[in-house]
Structure 1
Amino acid sequence: MKILYPLAAVIILFIAVSCNSKSNDKKEEKKIQKAEVPELKISIDSIDIALFYQTYPKLVKFQGDVSSLYKKKNDTQLWLDNKGVVEFGSTLFNKYKNLGDEGLKTNFPYNEKINPIFERLGDNKLSQVDTDLMITNLYFYYAEKVYGGVDEKTTTSLEWLLPRKKLNYQVFSDSIFKHATINDDNKSKMFSQYYKLREALKQYRSIEKKGGWKTIEVGDDFKSFKVGDSATAIAQIRERLAITGELKENNKSAVCDSILISAMKDYQMHHGNTPKNTIVKEHIDELNLPVSDRIKTIIVNMERCRWIDPGLEKGKEYIEVNIPEFKLYLIRDHEITFVSEVVVGKAMTKTVIFSGMMNNIVFSPYWNVPQSIINKEIKPGMAKNKNYLAEKHLEWNNGAVRQVPGVNNSLGLVKFLFPNSNNIYLHDTPAKSLFERENRAFSHGCVRVAKPRELAIELLKSDPKWTPQRIDKAMHAGKESWYTLKKKVPVYIGYFTAWVDRKGRLNFYKDVYQRDESLLKLLTEE
């Protein structure tokens, strides 16, 4: 036994060494096999690209950007490797299939070609070259739809003259090389309102999936509900307000109480209405608008957000006017420092959606009457009344007509100029009662400000010489005087019928110029 034991040990050691040697041999063999599989390299040159667009002409607008992209990659594929489509490609396709989350339709021009690449692999009849090119075009399609929106020519035809955001395809191209995420996690690619509306869309789609809300039924003779009234419709109003969050708790009572009225006031305030202590027919009609209509409004305004450069919000000081809201905001250091109600142009003389740089404040201004108003209003007035000019505080001035400074001047006691071809500006008005109305579309196109004195004070805060007392004196001097701002202030006049405020509340406003439907039609027909 003593002689055999070392022998056995030797045999065991031999077997162990032998096995280890075989294991190492297998590892080496695998390394050799792995090394023998070359990296996939598909040549995609300008001829391939040209032939692709001959076959798929609906994508030809991307040809220039796609060609540049492949040149950077030395004319080789972007999305394919030995295992198939790279993970980033699958991520892109999943984002595309969920375009509904962005308020868009999945209407890539060649859905029947792109879907099999990811969903029915055996049905993909495209060559490797065309497969790679198709995915690249899907990428540019996605970037254009989500981050750019409809083209500038179309938005101009929709009378949207605010500066358009320039879509930087270079950024998206770099993302492909890095296989970076196409999620905008830091929310930097878009105007911030876009992300807020996207969350609102998610909320309202959830409401829709749960059945939306029921119609509140009141009789034809319905006038109003007030505290103490009892009706089946009151319980229905409670249920409706609970769904969208104005009412925190639904006790299902059919008796109108102060809690319901308070919730209804909250609703009114966020739907462009003046809060009241009663619930009237107009409020019921508003509550009964189906959730599908609200979703459409959110989608339309998400599209408008795509057109706005997110850099706008980085300005140190600027003024924004939202036409359907009838409100003006002065933003300074990213905070709202001043708010005023405004009157905007009526339907026949719409206030233009555009921007300008405010450079002058004019105190005790003359009003130089536009020729159109002279022809339509003043000349007929003069024909009927020889004292028309004097009664309206008007005078001839070098063949034109102007209104003298004073409390009766149509521009009020101060105006704020930002030169533009539309001859639109902000100004005071003697017609103060109009600011008390819910619909404030009454002007000839300019924007009348309810609190012009306060706006002047805010804008001149940086100039210690212009105290509130001096501003008051200049406004009532009866003699026109100009002040040039030391730093021009951007003014943006926009049009949003859905807007999430800084407290996170979703607001809806009436489509005063009937612009939503034409844009919605454009989005859904593509």
Structure 2
Amino acid sequence: MNNIPLYRLLLMIFLVSISLTSLSCVNKEKKEKNKKDSFSESFDSTLVETFYAKYPELAEYKEQVVLLYQKNDYDYIWYDKKGRKETADVIFNRINHLFEDGVISKVPYKKTLDELFQKDSDKPDIDVELFLSNYYFYYADKVVQGIDTKKSRELEWYMPRKKLSYAAYMDSLLVDPKIIYNKEQHIEQYYKLKAVLKKYRAIEQKGGWDAIAVPAGFISIKPGDSSAVVAKIRTRLFLTGDIDVDSGSKIYEEKLQQAVLKYKKRNGFTLTRTILPKHIDEMNVPISRRIRTIIVNMERCRWISTDVTKAKEFIAVNIPSYQLTYFKKGKVVLRSNVVVGNMMNKTVIFSGMMSFIVFSPYWNVPTSIKEKEILPGIEKNANYLAEHNMEWEGENIRQKPGKDNSLGLVKFLFPNNNNIYLHDTPAKELFSAEKRAFSHGCIRVEKPKELANLILEDDNKWTPEKIDEAMNKGEESWHTLKNKIPVYIAYFTCWVDDEGNINFYKDIYERDARLAAMLVEDK
């Protein structure tokens, strides 16, 4: 440094100074440009309190809204330098079409927001801003998330609920408003029900359907019969698409017979061609009630994570339809009728991981059954246990393996606190009944051997012959599954099948009306 001439040193200092000054100017210009392009106008935080004093019916969202604005330093969220954001209009649009998603509760202050939205959108309006934030949470609650977990548990729904990050969802919407129309927010069934809801509301707007009156002493209608009732049935089935043309004919001919079979299949009846009073009673269910059923089942769809249907394999049991469905790689590999718990011993709505198959199982008699049924039986008949192939095990009673065992020849365990599992049964005749709520809570499977074969088909240690041998050996043996299988026990009183047909099932545990009441509560 000491060897550098003084004039050169001064020149270097001068050049560095100019460079730093230039850099500073460039950075200043960039900051000014960013500030100009961005929109970070804030509002007075006390205006939030003023808003809720003016619109108290939205107070349930106050805590979430305050946290939202604290996070954003009370900057406007729904406006930018150009005016109202596209996302604001999307939220407003969805609030205007909540009925399409089966939302039937009253939207508070909807008329007020309609009027505010007609005003100039170039400048921020604090009421519009706060309305949109509240309606965002309203929409997320009603359409995306559904009623809170506490309320669904009141309806005895113990399956894990879908989780939603309201903040993350809003961030995504602000970046791309179109994701609000994404059909991956819910399981596919939700959107199928939504389409049928639109169809049924169109039928309702045209007057719905009239009740079918039958003459006194009516017993049945059989193929070939002719009556005015047949013509009314034809018209009724035409409205719901079970028959293509309403010819007005009074004759119960082949085309109408096929339509009746389709209708019976959709409504859980035995597939016979004879029309009985109970079938007409079902046709007479008002369309308003059918619409309500669709709406409450759309709500149940909101509770289920889309991850469920993405699993490599899973087993689903729908209690009201008395049916088990086994999915592998997105395809149905087995459908089986089931028997579920009766009204006094309801099958619980929950999920678990199938971990074991037990061949030739013992039946460990539950304490309640022992005290209510078996001990009184022993008092009346000293040979009761021997006659039922039972024995004492300490203070407990169990039934020995065999074809007459109450669990049949195999059971499928997914450990849970409810002591519920899938199992075979010797009472095969029950599977042909229309109503199959007979058990003490566990689920009896009509096709247990087929289920075992499919579960173990990728295990080279098992063949259909070995499975059959283990089931009939008369000695209990346990097999631990290499890969646990998710099992979901759900409660849907209507379901749209792969052909687009809506199937209605009896509300055997009487839960629909209570859920509907929760959905129409005015907040």
- TM-score (normalised: structure 1): 0.88
- The C-alpha deviation readout for 1:319-375, integer Å capped at 9, x for no partner, is 000000000010000000011100000000000000000000000000111111111
SS at match of 1:328: strand
Of residues 475, 478, 486 in structure 1, which corresponds to 2:474? 478
**CA separation in 2, counterparts of 1:353 and 1:380?**
32
**CA separation in 1, counterparts of 2:53 and 2:359?**
63
2:31 corresponds in structure 1 to none
1:174 paired with 2:174, answer: no
Q: Which runs of 5+ in 2 are unaligned?
A: 1-35
Please list, as runs of the form range in 1=range in 2, the aligned pairs for 1:284-363 lying within 5 A after superposition.
Answer: 284-363=280-359
Please tell me the residue identity of whatever aligns with 1:234: V
**CA separation in 2, counterparts of 1:162 and 1:427?**
21
Q: Which runs of 5+ in 1 are unaligned?
A: 1-36
SS at match of 1:348: coil
Moved more, 172-181 or 202-211: 172-181
1:506 corresponds in structure 2 to 502
Please list, as runs of the form range in 1=range in 2, the aligned pairs for 1:233-312 lying within 5 A after superposition.
Answer: 233-312=229-308
**CA separation in 1, counterparts of 2:38 and 2:168?**
27
2:139 corresponds in structure 1 to 142
**CA separation in 2, counterparts of 1:46 and 1:399?**
68
Please tell me the residue identity of whatever aligns with 1:133: L
1:92 paired with 2:91, answer: yes
Of residues 145, 151, 155 in structure 2, which corresponds to 1:154? 151
2:206 corresponds in structure 1 to 210
8 Å CA contact 2:87–2:174 kept in 1: the answer is no
8 Å CA contact 1:230–1:255 kept in 2: the answer is yes
**CA separation in 1, counterparts of 2:98 and 2:105?**
6
**CA separation in 2, counterparts of 1:107 and 1:220?**
44
8 Å CA contact 1:100–1:106 kept in 2: the answer is no
Please tell me the residue identity of whatever aligns with 1:92: I
How many residue pairs match? The answer is: 486
**CA separation in 2, counterparts of 1:176 and 1:42?**
20
**CA separation in 1, counterparts of 2:171 and 2:320?**
39
2:128 corresponds in structure 1 to 131
Moved more, 498-507 or 441-450: 498-507
Q: CA deviation at 1:228?
A: 1.3
Please list, as runs of the form range in 1=range in 2, the aligned pairs for 1:61-72 lying within 5 A after superposition.
Answer: 61-71=60-70
Q: CA deviation at 1:194?
A: 0.6
1:449 paired with 2:448, answer: no
Please tell me the residue identity of whatever aligns with 2:502: L
Q: CA deviation at 1:57?
A: 5.2
**CA separation in 1, counterparts of 2:506 and 2:267?**
8
Q: CA deviation at 1:217?
A: 2.0
SS at match of 1:269: helix
CA distance change for structure 1 residues 408 and 179 in 2, over 3 Å: closer, same or farther?
closer
**CA separation in 2, counterparts of 1:50 and 1:223?**
67
SS at match of 2:484: strand
CA distance change for structure 1 residues 480 and 39 in 2, over 3 Å: closer, same or farther?
closer
**CA separation in 1, counterparts of 2:43 and 2:504?**
50
Moved more, 224-233 or 295-304: 224-233
Moved more, 385-394 or 202-211: 385-394
8 Å CA contact 1:327–1:342 kept in 2: the answer is yes
**CA separation in 2, counterparts of 1:305 and 1:44?**
39
1:196 paired with 2:186, answer: no
Q: CA deviation at 1:382?
A: 1.1
**CA separation in 2, counterparts of 1:399 and 1:277?**
53
RMSD of equivalent CA atoms = 2.3
**CA separation in 1, counterparts of 2:382 and 2:303?**
51
Q: Kindly, what percent of the aligned residue pairs are identical?
A: 50
Please tell me the residue identity of whatever aligns with 1:392: H
Please tell me the residue identity of whatever aligns with 2:145: G
**CA separation in 2, counterparts of 1:46 and 1:85?**
20
8 Å CA contact 2:90–2:177 kept in 1: the answer is no
SS at match of 2:95: helix
**CA separation in 1, counterparts of 2:208 and 2:66?**
47
SS at match of 1:409: coil
Q: CA deviation at 1:110?
A: 3.8
Moved more, 133-142 or 308-317: 133-142
**CA separation in 1, counterparts of 2:127 and 2:401?**
71
Q: CA deviation at 1:83?
A: 7.1
1:372 paired with 2:368, answer: yes
Moved more, 194-203 or 100-109: 100-109
Q: CA deviation at 1:291?
A: 1.0
- TM-score (normalised: structure 2): 0.88
Please tell me the residue identity of whatever aligns with 2:116: I
Q: CA deviation at 1:60?
A: 4.5
1:17 corresponds in structure 2 to none
CA distance change for structure 1 residues 166 and 45 in 2, over 3 Å: closer, same or farther?
farther
Q: CA deviation at 1:106?
A: 5.3
8 Å CA contact 1:42–1:129 kept in 2: the answer is no
CA distance change for structure 1 residues 453 and 100 in 2, over 3 Å: closer, same or farther?
same
